[in-house]
Structure formats: structure tokens, C-alpha cells
């Protein structure tokens, strides 16, 4: 997949910054911007036929609404991490990690649900294109976040 570096850079910057947004309105704004960037990528690489376009667009719009809720949860988790990574206790690290797993499970279930919805509304090939692009975009963003994310400070254990 040859997605332009400008689009990916835009997504990475928006998503990384959004992890440190301070208010709900900032998160909403950044989430909308990210959604618009992703929509450009979807339109570039997922090409429904004329017969399937309306059906795909309808299902994709529904997906985006649900995806936006998960993005807001991710933003909150990243914000919490940014505020506490240097002083996290074992219990806090465990709680944060479990929330991250739970969010990942929700995201996977959402992708599975919408793969089926796109497939039922259009066809399996288009649903696979949708899934490939979504997973690719999520992976690029995840990699960018983890690249910039500091490790939990283990110096606290050494000082005890």
C-alpha cells in the first residue's frame, strides 16, 4: 500500500497531539480532523463500484461514529499515561494496561462487526479493502504513538 507520506504524517501528528489534549472540545476537534484525514485515505484506496458506493458510504459513516467513541477513550488513556508515566505505581500500571487491552478488544470487535456489515451491504472484496486500510491506518498511528511514548519509569523500584 503506497499511502502518501503527507496524509500519514497528518494522521500521526493529529493522533499524537490528541493524546495530550486537555479538554473534551480539543479531543472532539482533533478526532474530527483525524477522521477527515482517514476519510481521504479510505476514498483513495477503497473504491466501491457505482452500485455499491451509496451502501458503502452509509456503513462507513456508521463505523466512523462508533470509531470516534473509541478514539475518545484512547485519547483519555494517552492523556492519563502522559500525566502519570513517571510516577506510576504497579497498580496504576496494571490498571492502565488492562484498560488498553479492553480498548483493543473493543476496536477489534468493531472492525469485525463492520467488516461483516460492509460485506453484507456490498461484497467481500470491498469489505476486505476497508479492513486492510483501517488496520494499516491504525497500525501506523499505533507505531507512531509508541515510538514517541516514554517507558514507564522503573527508577522508582530501584530507589526503594
pLDDT in tens, 78-128: 888 888 888 889 999 999 999 999 999 999 999 999 999 999 999 999 999
What is the dihedral sign for C-alpha 44, 122, 135, 98? positive
Contacts of 66 (CB under 8 A, 6+ apart): 110, 114
19-58 pLDDT tens trace: 444 445 544 555 555 555 667 777 778 889 999 999 999 9
Residue 52: which of 108, 130, 109 has the closest Cα?
130
Distance CA 10, CA 50 (A): 29
Q: What is the chain's length?
A: 160
Distance CA 155, CA 159 (A): 6
pTM score of the predicted model: 0.72
Three-class secondary structure of residue 122 per DSSP = coil
Contacts of 153 (CB under 8 A, 6+ apart): 85, 86, 87, 88
Amino acid at each position: 500500500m503506497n499511502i502518501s507520506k503527507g496524509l500519514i504524517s497528518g494522521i500521526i501528528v493529529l493522533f499524537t497531539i490528541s493524546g495530550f489534549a486537555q479538554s473534551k472540545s480539543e479531543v472532539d476537534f482533533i478526532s474530527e480532523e483525524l477522521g477527515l484525514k482517514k476519510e481521504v485515505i479510505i476514498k483513495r484506496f477503497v473504491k466501491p463500484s457505482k452500485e455499491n458506493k451509496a451502501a458503502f458510504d452509509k456503513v462507513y459513516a456508521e463505523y466512523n461514529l462508533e470509531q470516534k467513541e473509541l478514539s475518545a477513550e484512547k485519547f483519555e488513556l494517552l492523556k492519563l499515561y502522559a500525566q502519570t508515566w513517571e510516577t506510576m505505581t504497579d497498580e496504576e500500571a496494571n490498571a492502565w494496561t488492562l484498560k488498553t487491552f479492553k480498548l483493543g478488544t473493543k476496536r477489534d470487535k468493531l472492525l469485525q462487526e463492520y467488516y461483516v456489515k460492509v460485506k453484507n451491504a456490498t461484497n467481500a472484496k470491498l469489505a476486505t479493502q476497508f479492513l486492510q486500510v483501517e488496520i494499516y491506518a491504525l497500525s501506523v498511528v499505533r507505531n507512531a504513538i509508541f515510538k514517541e511514548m516514554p517507558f514507564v519509569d522503573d527508577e522508582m523500584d530501584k530507589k526503594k
